[in-house]
Amino acid sequence: MKHLLSAADLDRTSAIEVLDTAARMAATQGREIKKLPTLRGRTVVNLFFEDSTRTRISFETAAKRLSADVINFSAKGSSVSKGESLKDTALTLQAMGADAVVIRHQASGAPHRLAHAGWVGSSVVNAGDGTHQHPTQALLDAFTVRRHLVGTADEPDGVGKDLTGLRVAIVGDVLHSRVARSNVQLLHTLGARVTLVAPPTLVPVGVEAWPCDVSYHLDDVITDQQPDAIMMLRVQRERMGADGTGGTSFFPSPLEYTRTFGLDARRMALLPEHAVVMHPGPMNRGLEISADAADSPRAVIVEQVANGVAVRMAVLYLLLAKEREAVA
Ligand code: NCD
């Protein structure tokens, strides 16, 4: 595999290979010295055109733990804010000899363009493009679900296994969510059954073609399906309203949204005992998730962040080091 642009790039075998590699990476992260020599002498560029905290830091940490040189490039404070095109930015990166470019961009399809326009020879990893895809988020979510719900005492990470038989509910602003799109695809590839739950205004056109069920009733889904994992999505106010100021015309009021689609203590009590509560972050506490749900012992939100590092180490390793090692 040369690039990771979409969760659709992964079939069952390659998805399990990433998760199993991430399990090996995670095992090294409990050591006192966390750094591995694997990507010594290689350069990873983090190209972030959109705000990000955890994804950018996570990729940076992952690359550094593998001993790569890391260059962080954010649109603010660079020539991009002077109107430089993606092509010219790419040619600059190429001239600097980047082996991998990790890109987050507000335009859906930008990573695909970067990978296939012939401007750069490097591997391209999509760290989130518009409302389209965020494949490493789906991988870290699958890793977290597998560890909690498939792992055993002998094999805590569930190595070699997929997610067959598990039910996952993905709740909230599906319309604007690249996390939902990537997760539906990857969870389906791994054999889980997914139900999207959202108000009709936040369900994308064409959702019938996605490999999942759709419901407008959170209480029914929780009671009838007893999901093993419930993934709450952030209400993406910055993508609502034509002026980008975050109008909430997609639902009557924040209070109404919380009452109908928010996860709170009452709904937590209806979930099965073993169910895990997930959120990709950043959370709107009090809107899609209450503080007691976010901080409950069944919430794995902080673990998702930690697992993100291991998963991104695995992705960078598989894209940059595996073939070279095989040749050597
Ligand atoms: C997500 C994203 O940026 O798509 N966050 C993340 O990567 N941790 C989800 C979101 O912003 O709501």
- Predicted pLDDT of residue 247: 58
- % residues pLDDT > 70 (the chain): 95
Cβ(143)–Cβ(29) under 8 Å? Answer: no
Residue 54 annotated among the catalytic residues of the structure: yes
Determine the average pLDDT of the residues in 150-171.
97
48-66 confidence digits (pLDDT tens)? 999 888 999 999 999 999 9
- % residues pLDDT > 90 (the chain): 84
Cβ(198)–Cβ(260) under 8 Å? Answer: no
303-327 confidence digits (pLDDT tens)? 999 999 999 999 999 999 876 665 5
Task: Give the largest Cα separation in the chain, rounded.
Answer: 61
Q: Which of 257, 310, 303, 253 is nearest to 280 (CA)?
A: 303
The answer on pLDDT for 179 being more than 90 is: yes
Cα 5 to averaged position of ligand 1 atoms, centre (Å): 16
Residue 134 annotated among the catalytic residues of the structure: yes
Cα 182 to averaged position of ligand 1 atoms, centre (Å): 12
Kindly indicate the confidence band of residue 244, based on its pLDDT and cuts at 50, 70 and 90: low
Kindly indicate the confidence band of residue 180, based on its pLDDT and cuts at 50, 70 and 90: very high
> Dihedrals φ, ψ of 224, to 5°?
-80, -35
- Predicted pLDDT of residue 238: 87
Whether CATH 3.40.50.1370 fits 136-301: yes
Contacting residues for 251 by C-beta, under 8 A, at least 6 apart: 199, 201, 202, 257, 260
Q: Which of 172, 237, 181 is nearest to 201 (CA)?
A: 172
201-243 confidence digits (pLDDT tens)? 999 999 999 999 999 999 999 999 999 999 999 999 888 875 5
Residue 324 annotated among the catalytic residues of the structure: no
DSSP 200: G
Determine the average pLDDT of the residues in 166-174.
98
- Predicted pLDDT of residue 212: 98
Within its chain, how far is the Cα of 111 from the centroid? 15
Q: Which of 164, 183, 163 is nearest to 174 (CA)?
A: 183
Residue 31 annotated among the catalytic residues of the structure: no
Residue 181, classed as helix, strand or coil, is: helix
Report CA dihedral (139, 142, 143, 147) to the nearest 10 degrees: 180
Helices 135-149 and 54-65: angle between axes, nearest 10 degrees:
80
* Of residues 223 and 90, more confidently modeled: 223
- Predicted pLDDT of residue 1: 87
The CATH number for 7-133+305-327, chosen from 3.40.50.300, 3.40.50.1370, 2.130.10.10, 3.40.50.2000, is: 3.40.50.1370
- Predicted pLDDT of residue 242: 57
For the chain, where do the domains classified as CATH 3.40.50.1370 start and end?
7-133+305-327, 136-301
The answer on pLDDT for 246 being more than 60 is: no
How far is Cα 9 from Cα 37, in angstroms, rounded to an integer? 27
Determine the average pLDDT of the residues in 112-126.
95
The answer on pLDDT for 245 being more than 60 is: no
* Of residues 268 and 91, more confidently modeled: 268
How far is Cα 325 from Cα 328, in angstroms, rounded to an integer? 5
Peptide bond into 272 cis (omega under 30): no
Q: What is the residue with the minimal CA distance to atom 7 of ligand 1?
A: 55
- The pTM of this model reads 0.95
Cα 284 to averaged position of ligand 1 atoms, centre (Å): 12
Kindly indicate the confidence band of residue 75, based on its pLDDT and cuts at 50, 70 and 90: confident
